[in-house]
């Protein structure tokens, strides 16, 4: 579904990612793990058109999308839930969610998608009229994921979805990730929470200093003592 080959990307012409290589098969959860500043987020921003690729190739469903604008990438079916959530604090929860559906003109499709989101996040449905700024961190993360799902993505990218959440809420967020896969949506997840990420990932890659240094199934990584010590801090 997605193939990233020898990606080089950064900001202002300065590379942060030097040689990222990974691929994602349809229906999988794929984890990208590594230390802070390793280049995981920058690689995904290059996929979504937010950061400019400086080299390499990004192919999505057989089409080269390297350098495409972010709004064109969304039209292809790729949606990203950014680190830090980036909600509009003064807007209502419902308005924040509906921002994700700005490309969908058909009212019935919007309504159908909205009902799916309400079913997945009943707590969000209870708070539709509240402003986003009044929600807890966990609730805000749910709204951010709901907004991402409203775009009807085929591929959903989650950047640090558990950041700043209590252990109980972290568990909830990862349960939502598994439900998203059950809907037939392919998922890429970037996470500091390595153990849980590898437990739910069909495949995972370690990115270190802007390069992909290891790839394997989540279970292989959890079982490999060298990988755990060298790259995962376990």
* Per-residue pLDDT band at 202 (split at 50, 70, 90): very high
pLDDT tens, 147-172? 999 999 999 999 999 888 888 888 88
pLDDT tens, 32-59? 988 788 899 999 999 999 998 999 999 9
Measure the CA–CA gap between 56 and 130, rounded to whole angstroms.
Answer: 44
Measure the CA–CA gap between 105 and 213, rounded to whole angstroms.
Answer: 43
Amino acid 168: pLDDT? 83
DSSP string covering 83-113, please? TT----TTSBHHHHHHGGGTT---HHHHHHH
pLDDT tens, 134-143? 998 889 999 9
* Per-residue pLDDT band at 83 (split at 50, 70, 90): confident
Which ranges constitute the DSSP H helices of 7-135? Answer: 40-47, 70-75, 93-98, 107-120, 122-125
18-27, 46-55, 81-90, 93-102: range with lowest mean pLDDT? 81-90
pTM of the model: 0.91
Strand order in the sheet with 52-60: 63-64, 52-60, 2-11, 14-24, 211-216, 203-208, 29-33, 186-190, 155-159, 78-81
Amino acid 67: pLDDT? 87
Measure the CA–CA gap between 228 and 206, rounded to whole angstroms.
Answer: 10
Could you tell me if 70 and 49 are in contact, meaning their C-beta atoms sit under 8 angstroms apart? Answer: yes
């Amino acid at each position: 579904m997605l193939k990233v080959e020898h990606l080089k990307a950064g900001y202002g012409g300065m590379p942060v990612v030097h040689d990222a290589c990974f691929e994602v098969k349809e229906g999988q959860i794929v984890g990208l793990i590594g230390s802070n500043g390793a280049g995981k987020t920058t690689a995904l921003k290059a996929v979504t058109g937010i950061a400019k690729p400086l080299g390499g190739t990004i192919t999505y469903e057989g089409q080269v999308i390297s350098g495409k604008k972010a709004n064109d990438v969304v039209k292809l079916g790729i949606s990203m839930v950014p680190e830090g959530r980036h909600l509009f604090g003064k807007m209502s929860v419902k308005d924040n969610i509906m921002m994700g559906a700005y490309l969908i003109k058909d009212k019935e499709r919007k309504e159908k998608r909205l009902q799916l989101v309400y079913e997945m996040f009943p707590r969000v449905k209870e708070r539709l009229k509240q402003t986003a700024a009044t929600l807890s961190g966990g609730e805000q993360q749910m709204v951010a994921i709901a907004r991402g799902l409203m775009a009807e993505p085929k591929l959903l990218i989650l950047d640090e979805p558990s950041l700043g959440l209590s252990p109980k809420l972290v568990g909830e967020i990862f349960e939502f990730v598994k439900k998203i896969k059950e809907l037939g949506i392919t998922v890429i997840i970037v996470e500091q929470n390595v153990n849980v990420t590898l437990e739910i990932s069909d495949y995972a890659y370690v990115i270190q200093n802007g390069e992909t240094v290891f790839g394997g199934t989540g279970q292989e990584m959890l079982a490999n003592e060298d990988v755990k010590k060298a790259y995962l801090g376990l």
